[in-house]
Structure 1
Amino acid sequence: MNKKNKYNIFIVTVIITVTMFFSCSDNFKQVQKIGVSENEPIGIAEHINLKYTDSGRVTANLLSAKMLDYSNRDFPFNEFTGGITLYVYDEENRKSTIVSDYAIVYNNTDLIDLQGNVIITTHDGNVLKTEQLYYDQKKEWLFTNVPVTFTTKQDVIKGNGFDSNQKFTNAEVLEVTGIISLDE
């Protein structure tokens, strides 16, 4: 082999090597996604019985038949397709219950969307029924703009929306359509 052919082979080898070197990039995230469709959950949990504690005291107990984890998305969320039952305990260990057929928790906004036969029963017997209810975890605020029925010890109040803090001490039925008794 003559000197010119050796030089050409050397140049071609160098070009291929340099091209391969610069074409490589950090594709770790792409490698992680191999075999995982963006439309599929990254995890599935069944028969959930999750207890939240604060300073050794149980503050909530979440029960659900199925949860889908979509934390692999740009806007991550958890979907409870089997519905939820949530028991919330106050400082005096009094239990309130929240039930819905479906729920979705948006991780970035701390917003919970409850849908289908949403029923909240407070420890003192107040009952809220609606088809959809949102809970803002940061503001500790419940709200909806769909029809509701709010039952207290004295009244059954129907309306087209609801706003309240999480303890129901500042509850307001919007666009009231029911009959309410008033103290004079």
Structure 2
Amino acid sequence: MSFNKLILKSIAVVTLAAMLFACEGNLNEVNKFNIEVDNPQGIAKNINLFYTDSGHVKSNLRSPKMLDYSQEKYPYRIFPIGVEVDFFNKDSTKNTIIADSAIIHSNSDLIDMRHNVKIITADSLILTTSQLFWDTEKQWVFTDRDYKIRLANGTENNGTGFDADQEFTVFNSRSNTGVQVIEDKSL
């Protein structure tokens, strides 16, 4: 083998090695960028938000923490350690929803509340379930999960799946059983 061919092969090997190391460095930079994209765009703590319409408070959302993923293809905000929302009715009474976590899907007006979801209405109805969806546009709540309702008079209802307006003046249950307390006004 001639000296020139040996030099050309050496140069080719060194160039190939340099390219491989350069690609590895770029790959590490790309992976680092991917990790950063998976992080939230913003983090908020001790949130206390009011929603008003025409000067009237419609709702109040409180949470210890919110993670904002608005940069994602399907943007969302998550409340990973609890959320509490008060909805104020026209007569100034309120309904409250409490959940261990919640996700607001920005493109759909849908809020997904999960784990130990509890609704307390102005007339003392208490509803519990493991997951509840709230359509903010239609002002409608629904679930396909098991639920339990307890009324102030002692009535209890267990069921699977319901939908209702957010004031609970309309309530449609898919299946239920329970104990109904009926007052006898003739006595």
State TM-score, norm by structure 2. Answer: 0.75
Report what 2:44 is aligned to: 45
Report if aligned partners of 1:67, 1:81 keep a CA contact under 8 Å in 2: yes
Q: Sequence identity of aligned pairs in percent?
A: 39
**Structure 1 counterpart of 2:162, which letter?**
F
Question: How many residues align structurally?
Answer: 151
**Structure 1 counterpart of 2:95, which letter?**
S
Deviation readout 1:1-22 (Å, 9 max, x if unpaired): xxxxxxxxxxxxxxxxxxxxxx
Please state how far the C-alpha of 1:152 moved relative to its aligned partner: 2.2
**Structure 2 counterpart of 1:49, which letter?**
N
Distance 2:124 2:183 in 1: 20
Please state how far the C-alpha of 1:41 moved relative to its aligned partner: 0.6
Deviation readout 1:121-154 (Å, 9 max, x if unpaired): 1111111111100011122211111110012234
Report what 1:145 is aligned to: 144
Deviation readout 1:26-69 (Å, 9 max, x if unpaired): xxxxxxxx697221110000000111112222221111000000
Q: What is the root-mean-square deviation in Å for CA atoms of aligned residues? A: 1.9
Deviation readout 1:89-141 (Å, 9 max, x if unpaired): 11121121110000000000111000011111111111111110001112221
Return 5+ residue gaps in structure 1 as ranges: 1-33
Q: State the secondary structure of the residue aligned to 1:75.
A: coil
* Residue 173 (1) aligns with residue 176 (2): no
Please state how far the C-alpha of 1:183 moved relative to its aligned partner: 8.5
Question: Which structure has the highest helix share of the two?
Answer: 2
Distance 1:172 1:153 in 2: 19
Runs of 4+ in 1 over 3 A off after TM superposition: 180-184
Report if aligned partners of 1:129, 1:150 keep a CA contact under 8 Å in 2: yes
Return 5+ residue gaps in structure 2 as ranges: 1-32
Report what 1:88 is aligned to: 87
Question: Which structure has the highest strand share of the two?
Answer: 2
Q: State the secondary structure of the residue aligned to 2:116.
A: strand
* Superposition pairs of residues 85-164 of structure 1, within 5 angstroms: 85-154=84-153, 155-164=155-164
